[in-house]
A and B are shown apart, each in its own frame.
Chain A
Amino acid sequence: MKRSSTHKLVQLLAVGIYGLGILASCSSKATTNAEILKSIEEANPKEMAVIEAELTDAPLVPAPITRKTPAKVVVRLEVTEVVKKMADGVDYTFWTFGGSVPGKFIRIRENDEVEFHLMNHPDSKNPHNIDLHAVTGPGGGAASTFTAPGHETVFNFKALNPGLYVYHCATAPVGMHIANGMYGLILVEPKEGLPKVDKEYYVMQGDFYTKGAFGAPGLQPFDMEKALDENPSYVVFNGSVGSLTGDNALTAKVGETIRLFVGNGGPNLVSSFHVIGEIFDNVYTEGGTKIHNNVQTTLVPAGGSAITEFKADVPGNYVLVDHSIFRAFNKGALGMLKVEGGEDKKLYSGLIEDRIYQPEGSTVQEMPQSATPKAAIASNKDMRLELGKTLYAQNCQACHQAEGQGIKGAFPPLAKSDFLNADVNRAIGVVAHGLEGQIKVNGELYNSTMPKLKLTDEEIANVMTFVMNNWGNKGGEVNLEHVKKAKASYKH
């Protein structure tokens, strides 16, 4: 259709020029010549269309490619060095492709010819380059894109192989550039395109090495020794703790099909990517062409990727984790997919029955949190609220959620909680000693174990003050005295 209408345009133009041609002067024809040439170019299917690539920040992905022919795609990626949040109360200087970690998602089609521009912001301290694993050629482009601050380099490549590829900076010291967040994903769609799905998201894991331990507040510098020892302080999805939880959670509706483009920037760790409560119907293993069906956990190598697809059959919250599980609960590798819609009890019933079963008696677990955050001492209630907020995010939020709403059937709410407001001292005891056995909160029964948290009395006071003064709870200040007393009177 398109082609024939362009031809019609050529014909019309040609007739018009024919009319003019005999009489008109050469000067006016100079432009007409150009116009004809242009329209002939457009009519010729061998000539490639030139397209400016749409780039997106995680977790968003550019729209699927509908073109049936290759194009010349212009990609402009800007490198910036920025201070951003690593976790609540913790900042880090990230080096980024496009302003955040992971870098912008690039989406092109097999056989596209890419004109790649790498711009290094004038305020950058360091030179940078880019190695795209989708490139066939020296250094994956790194050899041609070494860019001083305030400069721009350009190179062309043809996307020969379809797949989901990592890109990253490869300037010396390479490890440090990657450890600071210089990675992202480029998708080369196969000629025939990817099957249609309802939702697509971009999730990329990375490990970070800070001078302070997990949660240590303030602007944290890069720790080279930890990086060499491959002992990260943080392992996160999309550049920070909490980037995919609370209000930032991924969303879908029951019945929708979901595709996750999963990458791992490393620099060191291999990810055991898993979505709790889901089975991947399809996994394009390692981002390639082979599809594996019915996969629970897929390995995503450092500098590698995977595409996972599944259908959201049952409503609820699905937690994305690196199933090397300490990373999820103690270093931040945790995200969430919220699926909303009607329940199908045949697929998942929810809790039907609950009775006591105690063959050997149960004991309270201790949370193996070796890195106790340094406790700052609060001198007033406002400081308690401030410090408590961070402590909450680090210790409580994974289960009780960002707004204290909990997760129905699993983790009781703290927001407008009758259980909490009825007896603050009991609540302090729970935080200090853990809790097991059945409780009833706002009319719902809960029977899970809350681990004993390794918090100092000061920290308990802060986090409790924060909880009591948020989400419709009754307010007040919890101080050290309260904590000491409550701990003594509510011992297990």
Chain B
Amino acid sequence: MIRRLLTAILMLGACSMAAAQKGTPTDMVQVKGGTFVPLYGSDGAAVTVQSFRMDKYPVTNAEFEAFVAKNPKWKKTAVKKLFADANYLRHWTSESGIGANTDKLKNSPVTNVSWFAAKAYCECEGKRLPTVSEWEFAALASETKADASSDPKFYQRSLDWYSQPNPKYLPPVQQSFRNYYGLHGMIGLVWEWTSDFNSALIIGESRANASLDRQLFCGAGSNGASDVKNYVAFMRYAFRSSLKANYTVANLGFRCVQDQKVQTIAKK
């Protein structure tokens, strides 16, 4: 029994520190559950999202650097191509760290990370990647409203950001737009990985998505978008569906979430 515990501790090893911080997640905020209608996948029906905790900021280069230091298999040179493609951490100039541009990049969101790398990071923190539904639900918020989906100003701002090419250096996470929940940069900073990014049954030939081929997808039924005027959601779903799990992209980062339940247990 003791030996088992010991192995467990050893196995956790590098990640244990983060797990210890679980009780007081000052770097997280609560997102109160509710319902919303996603663009795809529910045939226009509302989907319920349970309350959850979400990182205030996307994970930064400095945070990811610390993770890599503790978990050398996620080093640029060590990572298996199955888990991250050739552009993995391309913007880092040194083998195991940010390198030359540390000052400019340390507080900016980490990008060029694969789904596997993002997932490993969150697991290490005792957290997980958000689901598409959780992420979309939290992203509905403007500065003042939990659901700003019908606010034309908020909508236009999102659309404007999605239309701009990447800046040379992404700004520090603290400087980005803060929404109703206290989440920074949900819109306007980077795209973000979700755990089930591959759950939207849409294909690259987006004009065929309205009536999907039954040969390609089982059980997809009618798969029309719930709101054909929601261009910002279209762009997010299109982006996700262009990904594979080992892809790394220059404006794709991530943040982690935690179930509310875990929190209450931790508090006790």
Contact A149–B205 (Cβ < 8 Å) = no
- Are A126 and B162 in contact, CB atoms less than 8 angstroms apart? yes
A172 and B237 form a contact (CB under 8 A): yes
| A125 and B163 form a contact (CB under 8 A) | yes
Given contacts A143-B205, A228-B229, contact A122 B235 (CB under 8 A): no
Question: Is B133 in contact with chain A by the CB < 8 A criterion?
Answer: no
Q: Which of the listed residues B159, B162, B238, B248 has the most CB atoms from chain A within 10 Å of its own CB?
A: B238
Tell me the chain A residues, 63-103 only, with Cβ under 8 Å from chain B. 80-83, 93
Chain A stretch 197-249: residues in CB contact (< 8 A) with chain B? 211, 221-222, 224, 228
Q: Which of A131-149 contact B (CB under 8 A)?
A: 138-139, 142-149
Query: Given A122-B250, A145-B204: A127 and B165 within 8 A (CB)?
Result: no
Given contacts A139-B208, A142-B205, A173-B234, whether A148 and B159 have CB atoms under 8 Å apart is no
> At the interface, yes or no: A269 with Cβ under 8 Å from chain B?
no
Are A172 and B156 in contact (CB-based, < 8 A)? no
Interface contact A222-B243, CB-CB below 8 Å:
no
Q: Does B209 contact A (CB under 8 A)?
A: yes
Task: Tell whether, in the assembled complex, residue B205 and residue A146 are in contact, meaning their CB atoms are under 8 Å apart.
Answer: yes
Using Cβ atoms and an 8 Å threshold, which residues of chain A touch B211? Answer: none
Known contacts A93-B164, A149-B250, A151-B247; decide if A172 and B159 are in contact (CB<8 Å): no
> Per-residue 0/1 for B134-161: is the Cβ within 8 Å of any A Cβ (1 yes, 0 no)?
0000000000000000000000100110
Instruction: Give which listed residue, B166, B206, B249, contacts A171 with CB less than 8 A.
Output: B206
Asked if B163 and A224 make an inter-chain contact with CB atoms under 8 angstroms apart, the answer reads no
State how many residues of chain A have any CB contact under 8 Å with chain B. Answer: 36
A174 and B242 contact, CB distance less than 8 A: no
Asked if residues B209 and A148 are in contact (CB atoms below 8 Å), the reply is: no
Kindly provide the distance from the CB of A8 to the nearest chain B CB, expressed in whole angstroms: 45
Q: Does A176 make an interface contact (CB < 8 A)?
A: yes
A123 at interface (Cβ–Cβ under 8 A)? yes
Task: Write the B84-116 contact mask toward A (1 if CB under 8 angstroms, else 0).
Answer: 000100100000000000000000000000000
B159–A123 touching, CB < 8 Å: no
- Partner of B250 from the list A123, A142, A222 (CB cut-off 8 Å) is A123
Which chain B residue shows the least CB distance to A81? Answer: B165
Counting CB contacts under 8 A, is A150 at the interface?
yes
Q: B204's closest neighbor in chain A, by CB?
A: A146
Taking A122-B87, A143-B208 as contacts, is the C-beta distance between A172 and B165 under 8 angstroms? no
Contact of A139 among B207, B235, B239, B248 (CB under 8 A): B207
**Within A150-180, which residues are at the interface with B (CB < 8 Å)?**
150-151, 170-174, 176, 180
Known pairs A172-B234, A176-B231; A222 contacts B205 (CB<8 A): no
A224 contacts which of B87, B159, B204 (Cβ < 8 Å)? B159
Q: Does B226 belong to the interface (CB within 8 Å)?
A: no
Minimum CB–CB distance for A219 against chain B, Å? 9
Given contacts A150-B248, A221-B159, contact A124 B165 (CB under 8 A): yes
B225, B250, B252: which has the most chain A beta carbons within 10 Å?
B250
Task: Find out whether the CB atom of A172 lies under 8 angstroms from the CB atom of B206.
Answer: yes
A330 within 8 A of B: no
CB neighbours of B159 from chain A (8 A):
221-222, 224
Q: Decide: B163 and A142 in contact? CB cutoff 8 A.
A: no
Interface residues of A (CB under 8 A from B): 80-83, 93, 122-127, 129, 138-139, 142-151, 170-174, 176, 180, 211, 221-222, 224, 228
Known A147-B242, A172-B237, A224-B231; further 20 A-B contacts with Cβ < 8 A? A80-B165, A122-B87, A122-B90, A123-B250, A123-B251, A125-B162, A125-B164, A126-B235, A126-B239, A127-B241, A129-B204, A138-B205, A138-B208, A143-B204, A146-B241, A149-B250, A150-B249, A171-B206, A173-B238, A174-B207
Interface residues of B (CB under 8 A from A): 87, 90, 156, 159-160, 162-166, 202-209, 225, 229, 231, 234-235, 237-239, 241-243, 247-252
